[in-house]
Amino acid sequence: MTTQTTTSETPETPETPSAHATAPSGLIGLPAPLGRALATGGGALAIVSTFLSWTWTADFPGDLTVYGYPGGLQVLVLIGGILTTLFGLASYGVKGLGWLAPGSADAALKLAALGTFATAWYTVIAISDELGGLVNLEPGGFVVAVATLAALLGALALPFERPEPDLADPDDRGWELLRHNSRQKWNIFKAAFVAKAPAPARALPAYAEILVIVAAMAVGLWVFSYGVSTPYDELFIGFLITAGFGFAALSKAGLVARVSAITAKYRTVTMIGAFVAAVAFPFTQSNDQYATIGVYILIFATVALGLNIVVGLAGLLDLGYVAFLGVGAYTAALVSGSPSSPLHVNWPFWASALLGAVVAMIFGVIIGAPTLRLRGDYLAIVTLGFGEIFRITVLNMDGTSGPDVTNGSNGISSIPNLNIAGFDFGQEHQILGTTIGRFANYLLLMLIITLIVVVVFRRSSDSRIGRAWIAIREDETAALAMGINGFRVKLIAFALGACLAGLSGSVQGHVTYTVTPEQYQFAYAVPPNSAFLLAAVVLGGMGTIAGPLVGASLLYLIPAKLQFLGDYQLFAFGVTLILLMRFRPEGLIPNRRRQLEFHEDAEAPAVLTKAGA
C-alpha cells in the first residue's frame, strides 16, 4: 500500500514559498483581470453619469439638473472618469496608449479612481446635506456613486510589487505569516500606490517636444484659471481633490517626469512659454476680480523666488526675509508722491523701483555682515530678530517716539497709481478687444518683474557663484577646505535675495495703496509673510525656479478660497501641509539632487541636473 504525502502536510519554508505566497495580488480578494475590468468600466460609467441629472433642483450650486451637459462638479468627475478609463485601457496594454503610462499604469489607475470616487461622493454628500437628504438625488447621482465605488474597488484589486523581506531577520517566513499584522496592512496600502520607475523615453522630434511644452503650458493655464475663478466653495473643494489626485496619478504614470525632462532640455523655450501663458491669464477672465488674486500671487511668488536663493541655493535659514520686502515697499512709497510721505517727492517708477532694490540690498549687507558667521538655528534666530526690529522701528518712526518718517501705525497711505509712458495703471484699457482692469494692469507689470527675477535666479544658479552656494549648502566645512570664501559667498546670496525682495516690494506698495508695519510680521494673517514665504519654498521645491512659483500660488490661493471654513481654516490648511510634506518631502517640483536625498532607492543619473532645472 502506497502512502501519499500531501503538500498541505509539509510546512512551507522561506526557501520554498508557495506560489500563492509569492503571486502578486491587490488589497482585496478579487482577481486582477476582474478588478481591471471593473475599474475601467466604472470610469466609463462615471463619464456617462455626468451627462445625467444629479439633483432635481437648481438650489445646489452649479445647476446639476441638466441632461446632456455636465456642469459644476460634474465637469470634475468627468475629468476624473476620463483619466480612470484611459489608465485602465493603458493597463490592458491597448495599442497607442503606451505613451500615457510610461511608468506604472496600475498605480496611476488606483490614484485616478480614488480621486474620482472622492470628488463624486463629496458631491453626493454635499447635495444630501444642503438639500435635506438622499431623496434630492436624481438617477445620475446614484449612478455616479455606484460607478465610482466600483472603479475604486476594481483598482484596489490590481496587483502591486510587495516590499522585499528584511534580510536581517532570519525568522522572516514571508508575507503570508504577517498578513494579519496591522502594520503590514498599512505597508500594503502604501505599496499599492507606489509606481515603478518610468521607462526610458522614446526620442521625439524637436518640434514634437516643443509641442509637448506648449500643451503642458496650455493645460497649466487652464487649471490655474479654473481654480482661481471657481465661483463657489463646493466647486473649489472638488477642484482641489481632482487636481491633487490627478497630478499624483500623472506622476505615478511617469508623464510628469517625462515632461520635466523635456522642459529641462528646452529651458529657454519653457521660460518663454510660461511667460506667454501667464500674460494670457488676464484675457481669460471676464472681470478684474480674479486678476486681483493673480497679482498678489505673483508678488508672493516673486519674493519666494528671491528667498529661494538664500534658502534653496545657499542653505541659509532666514526667518525675517519679509522685512526686505517691507524695506522696498516703504522706500518706493516715500518717493511715490503720496500726500502722507514726509519727503514730498514724486519719482518715476523705474527710479523708485531701483531705489527700493538698492536700499533693500544695502540692508541685506548691513544685517548679513555681522550675522552670517552664524549657522543653523542661531542664524534663524538672528534673522527672526531682524524682522521684528524692522517692524518695530517703522512703527515708532511716527514723529512722537522717533523721527517722522513712516507715520507709525498709520503707514504711508494714498499711494498713487503708476503712470508709465502715459499708461495709467489705475484705469481700464482695451487690449485685443478685452477690457483690462487695474489689477490686470499690475499683473502684467509684475510678470515683467517676475521674468527679471527668474533670469537673475537662473543665471546666478548656473554661474560659478551659484555652484559655490550649492557647495556651501551641501557641506560648508568641505567647501571652505576647497578654497571657497564662505562668508563672502553667503553675503552675496543674502544681498541678492534682499535686492529681489525690495524690487517686488516697490510694486506691492502701489498695488495695495497703503504700506503699514503689520503687513511685515513673521506670521501675518495674509501672505506674504516670513512663515508663508519659507513654506512656499519648501513646499514647492528648494533650489528650483518653478517650485517656489507653484508653492506660493498654492499657499496664497488655498487660504483665499477657504474663507468659508472660518476658525477651521488654519486647521485644514495645516493638515494639508502635513500630508504634502509626509508624502512628498522633497517638494512638488524638486531638483534631482534633493529628490535623491529623500528617495535613496531612486536611480541616480549619470550627470545631475543644474540647480535651476
pLDDT tens figures, 449-492: 999 888 888 888 888 998 999 898 888 888 888 888 888 999 99
Q: For the chain, how big is the Rg over CA atoms in Å?
A: 28
**Domain extent for 514:** 287-548
Last residue of a domain, one of 509, 532, 548: 548
Q: In Å, how far are 51, 239, 248 from 114, measured between CA atoms?
A: 21, 14, 11
- For residues 182 and 306, membership in a common domain is answered with no
Taking the C-alpha atoms of residue 510 and residue 353, their distance in angstroms, rounded to an integer, is: 11
Cell numbers representing residue 161 in the block: 510589487
**Widest CA span in the chain:** 115
Domain boundary among 502, 520, 548: 548
- Whether residues 301 and 434 share a domain: the answer is yes
Q: Specify if 391 maps to a domain.
A: yes
| DSSP one-letter string for 19-83 | HHHHS---SSSS-HHHHHHHHHHHHHHHHHHTTS-SBS-TTSTT-TT-SSS--THHHHHHHHHHH
Please compute the mean of the pLDDT values over residues 97-108 and round it to a whole number: 81
Tell whether 78 is covered by a domain.
Answer: yes
Q: Average pLDDT of the chain?
A: 80
Between CA 151 and CA 88 the distance in angstroms is 10
pLDDT band at 598 (very low <50, low <70, confident <90, very high): low
Judgement on whether residues 190 and 310 belong to the same structural domain of the protein: no
Residue 191 and residue 331 in one domain? no
Count of structural domains, the chain: 2
Q: What is the CATH number of the domain that holds 307?
A: 1.10.3470
pLDDT of residue 570: 74
Q: Can you tell me the mean pLDDT for 594-613?
A: 49
Identify the helix (H) or strand (E) that includes residue 268. helix 267-280
Dist CA 119 CA 115 (whole Å):
6
**Domain's final residue, options 498, 526, 548:** 548
> In the prediction, which pLDDT does 419 show?
84
The answer to whether residues 190 and 321 belong to one domain is no
Query: Is 354 part of a structural domain of the chain?
Result: yes
Distance CA 108, CA 78 (A): 17
**Quick check: 14 pLDDT over 60?**
no
Q: Does residue 565 belong to any structural domain of this protein?
A: no
* pLDDT tens readout for residues 60-87: 988 899 898 898 899 999 999 999 999 9
318 and 186, same structural domain?
no
pLDDT at position 607 is 40
Residue 570 resides in a domain: no
Q: Taking residues 279-288, what's their average pLDDT?
A: 80
CA distance 202 to 545: 27
Which pLDDT belongs to residue 17?
41
In angstroms, how far is the first alpha carbon of the chain from the final one? 76
Non-local (6+) Cβ contacts of 186 within 8 A are none
Q: Is 320 part of any domain?
A: yes
Percent of the chain with pLDDT strictly greater than 90: 21
Cβ neighbours of 483 (radius 10 Å): 7
196 φ/ψ angles, rounded to the nearest 5 degrees: -75, 165
Q: Are residues 452 and 320 in the same domain?
A: yes
In a domain, 138, yes or no: yes
Provide the total of helices (H) and of strands (E) in the chain, helices listed first: 22, 4
Q: Return the top range by mean pLDDT from 55-59, 184-188, 273-277, 358-362.
A: 358-362
User: Rounded distance, CA 549 to CA 278, Å?
Assistant: 12
What confidence category does residue 162 fall into, taking pLDDT thresholds of 50, 70 and 90?
very low
- Please, which residues have CB within 8 angstroms of residue 200's CB and are 6 or more apart in sequence? none
Q: DSSP secondary-structure letter at 488?
A: H
301 and 440, same structural domain? yes
Rounded mean pLDDT, 15-41: 66
- 291 and 157 co-located in one domain: no
Q: Residues 348, 454: one domain?
A: yes
- Residues 6 or more apart in contact with residue 567 via CB below 8 angstroms: none
Q: At what angle do helices 546-561 and 233-253 cross, to 10 degrees?
A: 150
Task: Give the confidence band of 25 by pLDDT, cuts at 50, 70, 90.
Answer: low
- Cα 180-186-187 angle, rounded to 5 deg: 95
Residue 592 lies inside a defined structural domain of this protein? no
Same domain for 187 and 291? no
Is the domain of 192 the same as that of 291? no
